Amino acid sequence: MFFYKVKELSNKILFQDISSLDIINSCIKRIKKIDSKLGAFLKLNEHKAIHDALNSNNRITNGKRLSILDGLPIAIKDNIMVKNESMTSASKYLKGYISPYDATVIKKLKKAGIILLGRTNMDEFAMGCSTETSAYQKTVNPWNIKYIPGGSSGGSAVSVSAGMVPFALGSDTGGSIRQPASFCGIVGYKPTYGLVSRYGICALASSFDQIGILAKTVEDTMLLINIIKGIDYKDPTTCDYKELNDNKHYNNKNLLKGLRIGIPKQLINYRIDNVILDSFNESIKKLELEGVKILEIDIPEYKYVPALYKVIMCAEVSANIATFDGMRYGYRAFESIDLNDEYSKTRAESLGYEVKKRILFGTYVLSKKHYNDIFLHAQKIRTLLIERLEKIYKKCDFIFSPATMQMPVKFGEHLTEDCDVFLIAANLAGLPGITIPYKFVKNLPLGVHFMGSRFSDKLLLEVANNFEKIIGFNINKFPNCT
Amino acid sequence: MNNYEASIGLEIHVQINTKSKLFCECPTSFGEIPNSNICVICTSQPGVLPILNKKAVEAVIKTGLALNARINKKCFFARKQYFYPDIPKNYQITQFEYPICQEGKLILITSNIQKVINITRIHLEEDAGKLIHEFGNKKLDYSLLDLNRAGIGLMEIVTEPEINSANEAATFLNQLKNIIEYLNTSECNMEEGNMRCDVNVSLRNIVDKKLGTKIEIKNMNSISGIKDAITYEINRQRYILESRRKIKQETRLWDSNRKVTRSMRDKENTLDYRYFIDPNLIPITITETLIKNLNSEIPELPILKKNRFYKEYLLNEYDINFLVSDKNIADYFEKTVFFSKNKKRATKIIANWIITDLMTKLNENKLSIKESPINCENMAKLIDLIINGDISNKIARMIFEDMYIKSSDPRNILREKKLLQISDKKCLTEICNKAIIKNSKAALEFKNGKQKAIYAIVGFVMKETKGCANPKLINSILLELLTK
pLDDT in tens, B23-35: 999 999 988 999 9
* Whether residue A91 has pLDDT greater than 70: yes
Work out the angle at residue B328's Cα, subtended by the Cα atoms of residues B324 and B331, and round it to the nearest 5 degrees.
75
A236 to B46: CB separation less than 8 angstroms, yes or no: no
Going by pLDDT thresholds of 50, 70 and 90, the confidence category of residue B314 is confident
What is the torsional sign of CA A449, A454, A457, A463?
negative
Task: Say if residues B168 and B114 touch (Cβ distance below 8 Å).
Answer: no
Could you give the percent of chain A with pLDDT greater than 70? 96
* Tens digits of residue pLDDT in A352-406: 999 999 999 999 999 999 999 999 999 999 999 999 999 999 999 999 999 999 9
Number of continuous H segments (helices) and E segments (strands) in chain A: 14, 11
B47 to A363: CB separation less than 8 angstroms, yes or no: no
Nearest to A87 among B46, B89, B276 (CB): B46
Identity of the residue numbered B440: S
Q: H-helix or E-strand containing B296? A: helix B288-297
A183 in a structural domain = yes
What is the DSSP pairing of strand A187-190 with strand A260-264? unpaired
Identity of the residue numbered B63: T
Alpha-carbon gap, residue B198 to B220, rounded angstroms: 7
* Whether residue A248 has pLDDT greater than 60: no
Residues 135-154 on A with a CB inside 8 Å of B are none
* Whether residue A246 has pLDDT greater than 60: no
Alpha-carbon gap, residue A378 to A372, rounded angstroms: 9
A236 to B52: CB separation less than 8 angstroms, yes or no: yes
Task: Pick the residue from chain A with its C-alpha nearest to B275.
Answer: A366
Of A420, A424, A412, A355, the C-alpha closest to A134 is A355
Strands (E), A268-351: 293-297
Residue A346 forms contact with B (CB below 8 Å): no
A203 to B47: CB separation less than 8 angstroms, yes or no: yes
B47 to A202: CB separation less than 8 angstroms, yes or no: yes
- Give the mutation candidate from A323, A355, A363 for the B interface (greatest B CB count, under 10 A): A323
Alpha-carbon gap, residue A182 to A214, rounded angstroms: 10
A187 in a structural domain = yes
Going by pLDDT thresholds of 50, 70 and 90, the confidence category of residue B425 is confident
Identity of the residue numbered B171: T
B471 C-beta neighbours (distance < 10 Å), count: 15
Alpha-carbon gap, residue A374 to A384, rounded angstroms: 15
Which active-site residues of A does the annotation give?
A: 77, 152, 176
Q: In what order do the strands lie in the sheet with A41-44?
A: A41-44, A115-120, A73-77, A167-171, A211-215, A187-190, A433-441, A444-451, A398-402, A260-264, A293-297
Query: Mean per-residue pLDDT for A215-236?
Result: 94
* Tens digits of residue pLDDT in A130-162: 999 999 999 999 999 999 999 899 999 999 999
Residues 6+ apart with CB under 8 A from A248: none
* Tens digits of residue pLDDT in A300-347: 999 999 999 999 999 999 999 999 999 999 999 988 899 999 999 999
A268 in a structural domain = no
Count, residues in chain B: 484
Nearest to A236 among B45, B51, B79 (CB): B51
Query: What pLDDT score does A243 carry?
Result: 57
Is the model more confident about A447 or about B210? A447
Query: What pLDDT score does A252 carry?
Result: 59
Alpha-carbon gap, residue B22 to B14, rounded angstroms: 13
Shortest Cα–Cα distance, B268 to chain A (Å): 14
- Give the mutation candidate from B49, B86, B91, B147 for the A interface (greatest A CB count, under 10 A): B49
Shortest Cα–Cα distance, B54 to chain A (Å): 12
Helix (H, G, I), strand (E, B) or coil at B205: strand
Question: Can you give the CATH number for the domain in which A177 is found?
Answer: 3.90.1300.10
Contacts of B46 in chain A (CB under 8 A): 79, 81, 87, 89, 94, 97, 99, 202-203, 323
Of A443, A295, A318, the C-alpha closest to A374 is A318
What is the torsional sign of CA B339, B344, B349, B351?
positive
Beta partners for A264? A297
Phi, psi angle pair for A434, to nearest 5°: -140, 135
> What separation in angstroms does the CA of B79 have from each of A93, A269, A434, B82, B279?
23, 38, 32, 10, 9
Query: What pLDDT score does A247 carry?
Result: 45
Q: Render B62-120 in DSSP notation, one character per residue.
A: HHHHHTTPEEPSEE--EEEE---TTSTTSEEEE-SSS-SEEEEEEEEE-SS-EEEEEEE
Contacts of B145 in chain A (CB under 8 A): 327
Query: Mean per-residue pLDDT for B292-311?
Result: 91
Going by pLDDT thresholds of 50, 70 and 90, the confidence category of residue B361 is confident
B43 to A328: CB separation less than 8 angstroms, yes or no: yes
* Whether residue B263 has pLDDT greater than 80: yes
Task: Pick the residue from chain B with its C-alpha nearest to A376.
Answer: B276
* Whether residue A123 has pLDDT greater than 80: yes
Residue A364 forms contact with B (CB below 8 Å): no
Query: Mean per-residue pLDDT for A155-175?
Result: 96
Identity of the residue numbered B164: N
* Whether residue B422 has pLDDT greater than 90: no
Phi, psi angle pair for B98, to nearest 5°: -125, 75
Alpha-carbon gap, residue A135 to A89, rounded angstroms: 9
* Tens digits of residue pLDDT in B47-73: 999 999 999 999 999 999 999 999 999
Going by pLDDT thresholds of 50, 70 and 90, the confidence category of residue B269 is low
3-state helix/strand/coil string of B331-370: HHHHHHHHHCCCHHHHHHHHHHHHHHHHHHHHHHCCCCHH
Computed over its alpha carbons, how large is the radius of gyration of chain B?
A: 30
Shortest Cα–Cα distance, A303 to chain B (Å): 24
How many beta-carbon pairs below 8 A join chains A and B?
A: 97
* Whether residue A482 has pLDDT greater than 70: no
Beta partners for A229? A196
Task: Give residue ranges of B with CB < 8 Å to any A CB.
Answer: 40, 43-52, 79, 81, 83, 85, 88-91, 145, 272, 274-276, 278-282
Beta partners for B253? B218, B262
What is the torsional sign of CA B308, B311, B312, B318?
positive
Which value does ipTM take for this structure? 0.94
Alpha-carbon gap, residue B159 to B171, rounded angstroms: 14
Strands (E), A235-281: 260-264
B40 to A322: CB separation less than 8 angstroms, yes or no: no
Of A322, A234, A319, the C-alpha closest to B24 is A234
* Whether residue B420 has pLDDT greater than 80: no
A80 to B280: CB separation less than 8 angstroms, yes or no: no
Of A25, A179, A160, the C-alpha closest to A479 is A160
Q: Domain extents for chain B?
A: 4-293, 300-417, 425-482
Contacts of A101 in chain B (CB under 8 A): 40, 45
Alpha-carbon gap, residue A322 to B273, rounded angstroms: 13
Computed over its alpha carbons, how large is the radius of gyration of chain A?
A: 21
Query: Mean per-residue pLDDT for B408-432?
Result: 77
Domain that holds residue A428: 6-255+404-471
Alpha-carbon gap, residue A60 to A66, rounded angstroms: 9
Alpha-carbon gap, residue B481 to B430, rounded angstroms: 11
Contacts of B279 in chain A (CB under 8 A): 205-207, 237, 316
- Give the mutation candidate from A94, A124, A321, A366 for the B interface (greatest B CB count, under 10 A): A366
Query: What pLDDT score does A2 carry?
Result: 65
Query: What pLDDT score does A244 carry?
Result: 55
Task: Pick the residue from chain B with its C-alpha nearest to A94.
Answer: B46
Task: Say if residues B94 and B77 touch (Cβ distance below 8 Å).
Answer: yes
* Tens digits of residue pLDDT in B71-100: 999 999 999 999 999 999 999 999 999 999
B90 to A328: CB separation less than 8 angstroms, yes or no: no
Nearest to A206 among B52, B88, B280 (CB): B280
* Whether residue B368 has pLDDT greater than 90: no
Task: Say if residues B189 and B177 touch (Cβ distance below 8 Å).
Answer: no
Residues 6+ apart with CB under 8 A from B232: B259, B260, B261
Identity of the residue numbered A220: D
Nearest to B91 among A234, A322, A375 (CB): A322
A81 to B46: CB separation less than 8 angstroms, yes or no: yes
Alpha-carbon gap, residue B241 to B345, rounded angstroms: 59
Query: What pLDDT score does B461 carry?
Result: 83
Query: What pLDDT score does B267 carry?
Result: 63
Q: In what order do the strands lie in the sheet with B114-126?
A: B70-71, B101-109, B114-126, B153-159, B4-15, B195-205, B215-220, B250-255, B260-266
* Whether residue B152 has pLDDT greater than 70: yes
Contacts of A80 in chain B (CB under 8 A): 47
Going by pLDDT thresholds of 50, 70 and 90, the confidence category of residue B388 is confident
* Tens digits of residue pLDDT in B183-233: 999 988 887 788 899 999 999 888 888 888 888 998 788 888 899 999 999
What is the DSSP pairing of strand B70-71 with strand A398-402? unpaired
Angle between helices B376-387 and B393-406 (to 10 degrees): 160
What is the torsional sign of CA B271, B274, B278, B283?
positive
Alpha-carbon gap, residue A376 to A456, rounded angstroms: 29
Query: Mean per-residue pLDDT for A191-205?
Result: 96
The whole-chain average pLDDT of chain B stands at 88
Task: Say if residues A73 and A24 touch (Cβ distance below 8 Å).
Answer: yes
Query: What pLDDT score does B257 carry?
Result: 84
Helix (H, G, I), strand (E, B) or coil at B288: helix
Shortest Cα–Cα distance, B278 to chain A (Å): 9
B91 to A235: CB separation less than 8 angstroms, yes or no: no
Shortest Cα–Cα distance, A188 to chain B (Å): 22
CATH number listed for the domain at residues B425-482? 1.10.10.410
C-alpha A180: how far from chain center: 8
* Tens digits of residue pLDDT in B167-186: 999 999 999 999 999 999 99
Could you give the percent of chain B with pLDDT greater than 90? 42
The whole-chain average pLDDT of chain A stands at 93
Q: Into how many domains does chain A fold?
A: 1
Contacts of B20 in chain A (CB under 8 A): none
C-alpha A95: how far from chain center: 23
Contacts of A234 in chain B (CB under 8 A): 49, 51
Of B273, B270, B264, B278, the C-alpha closest to B82 is B273
